[in-house]
Amino acid sequence: MVDVNKQIRMVVKTGKVDFGTKTALSSVRQSKAKLVILASNCPGTERDNIMYNADLSEVPIYVFQGSSLDLGALCERPYPVSALTVKEAGDSSVLELAESK
């Protein structure tokens, strides 16, 4: 079983990630994302756009159980994070989240 919080913290420290729904959407459209993590309260239209485009480009989506404030705190950011785009996993096994859903 993958410890979600630990892996998200690890990928933020050692991998390449982007924050925000606009970046997530553009990365998914260009197939540059390896995984997109969405907060459970990610706004509806943004969530739908990201999920639709991720489906087309076969980018896995993981829905984080906490809110955008929880995700922001986990990423050690002083602001809410609705979407986290993983471009490189670094030392984490965060990409296993996509397989465990």
Q: Tell me the per-residue pLDDT of 66-91, one tens digit each, with 9 for 90 and over.
A: 999 999 999 999 999 999 999 999 99
Kindly report the CATH number assigned to the domain that includes residue 88. 3.30.1330.30
Total domains in the chain come to 1
Q: What is the pLDDT of residues 3-45, one digit of tens each?
A: 899 999 999 999 999 999 999 999 999 999 999 999 999 999 9
Which structural domain, as residue segments, surrounds residue 63?
4-99
Tokens of 36: 């997109």
User: Burial level of 41, CB count in 10 A (0-12/13-18/19+)?
Assistant: middle
More confident of the two residues 37 and 1: 37
How far, in whole angstroms, is CA 18 from its chain's centroid? 8
